[in-house]
Amino acid sequence: MGCAHGKCCSRDSSTSDEDSGHHQRGIRPYKNKDGLTQRSLELVHVPSHNFTLQYSSLTQNGYYPDTTDRENQDSFCIKTQIQGNPNVHFFGVFDGHGQYGAQCSNFVKDKLVEILSSDPTLLDDPLKAFSSAFLATNSELRDSEIDDALSGTTAITVLVVGDTLYVANVGDSRAVIAVKDGDRILAEDLSVDQTPFRKDEYDRVKLFGARVLSVDQVEGLKDPDIQHWGDEESHGGDPPRLWVPNGMYPGTAFTRSVGDSTAEKIGVIAVPEISIVRFTPSHLFFVVASDGVFEFLSSQTVVNMAAAYKDPSDACAAIAGDSYKRWLELENRTDDITIIIVQIKGLSNQSGVGTTDSEVHSRPCQIGGSMNQSTAIVPLLMHQRPLESDMG
């Protein structure tokens, strides 16, 4: 969730080389076809570890009663065989916001994978290449003809390199992986939403001079000196937002994004947090989705629903449909909804995979969420201080 009127106060697309848990009764594939784009079931083999990724995706325009022809600001990218390598595959969801959110979203989903694909260091140091690609993409957007002063996009991206998953995130979209644990299927978050609810992110943007207030606080309906808002899951529809010291903008409810040059002055950065997971046979599938999905559905609920379907196309449709329904039950509109589900097929113990943190060649730092020992998050520039020139 972004600003008081969407992502920030003031589409469907893909690029590709090819271009069971607790069953929930009554879930049916999504029937609303207005503004809906869904890809059919596709698969790609990962020969280095002899398993297959089977995937599908869906994006659905949000419903806004005052602007029924509003453009879908979400976009997604699925690109297999990065650099011609059959073991390297990319999945990403981009949630645009602001007047030019759709343009920002589509620019970033194209440019990010383009930069990754042309980076000769990608396979030698995926962590560094991923982080560099985000910063370079942000710079390219700034230099483009798109006005990103009050527009931008969040990005949740997954890079599969053999048996290892690299998840780079800026913003409040999410990736989650399903883990089989006995007769249960558990949801393990691969990213942590970057919002002012997080103390580390709150402290970081405050260093840049951001005011952090809910809309009710800004409008004088609640005490602005109260600087705690509970937790994100239970808070409701008036989250803390970021405002310039002497103005009523930009009102972003996230603390990282690509674009948003005005918000960048108060600490909204394009530096991703990157988590690393090594696949094991207990990993069943992963989900990459915009906050249109996760606004009213927990990670575990999404995993439960996805696990109820053999075909990820049906799972995408069911989750999108339930998300859409929840939005209309609790709000007078819906957000754009985008989801990718990737099933992991045929991975065996003979693949030589492991799960210990010592196998991740980076300094892990757990920063919250429902992550276990097999997931390491590397926060880059988590406590970056503003330059003196930014403070003026």
Condensed to tens digits (0 to 9), the pLDDT of residues 271-308 reads 999 999 999 999 999 999 999 999 999 999 999 999 99
Q: Are residues 61 and 202 in the same domain?
A: no
- Residue 363: how many CB atoms within 10 A of its CB? 9
Percent of the chain with pLDDT over 90: 69
Residue 9's contacts (CB-CB under 8 Å, 6 or more residues apart) are: 2, 3, 241, 248, 249, 250, 251, 252
Q: From CA 201, how far away is CA 255, in angstroms rounded? A: 7
* Element at 241 (helix H, strand E): strand 241-243
- Two structure tokens written together for 252: 């972003």
What domain range includes position 74? 42-193+270-347
Count of domains forming the chain = 2
Q: Which long-range contacts (CB under 8 A, 24 or more apart) does 215-219 make?
A: 215/4, 215/241, 215/251, 218/243, 218/248, 218/251
Q: Are residues 157 and 205 in the same domain?
A: no
Q: Are residues 227 and 331 in the same domain?
A: no
Q: From CA 231, how far away is CA 202, in angstroms rounded? A: 13
Give the pLDDT confidence score for residue 380 in this predicted structure.
44
Compute CA distances 47 → 53, 161, 314, whole Å: 11, 11, 27
Q: Are residues 113 and 170 in the same domain?
A: yes
Name which of 95-109, 172-186, 194-208, 364-378 the model is least confident about: 364-378
The 3-state DSSP class for residue 250 equals strand
Give the pLDDT confidence score for residue 236 in this predicted structure.
57
Q: Are residues 136 and 187 in the same domain?
A: yes
Give 36's pLDDT tier (boundaries 50, 70, 90). confident
Residue 185: give its domain's CATH number: 3.60.40.10
Residue 156 maps to a domain: yes
Q: Are residues 231 and 111 in the same domain?
A: no
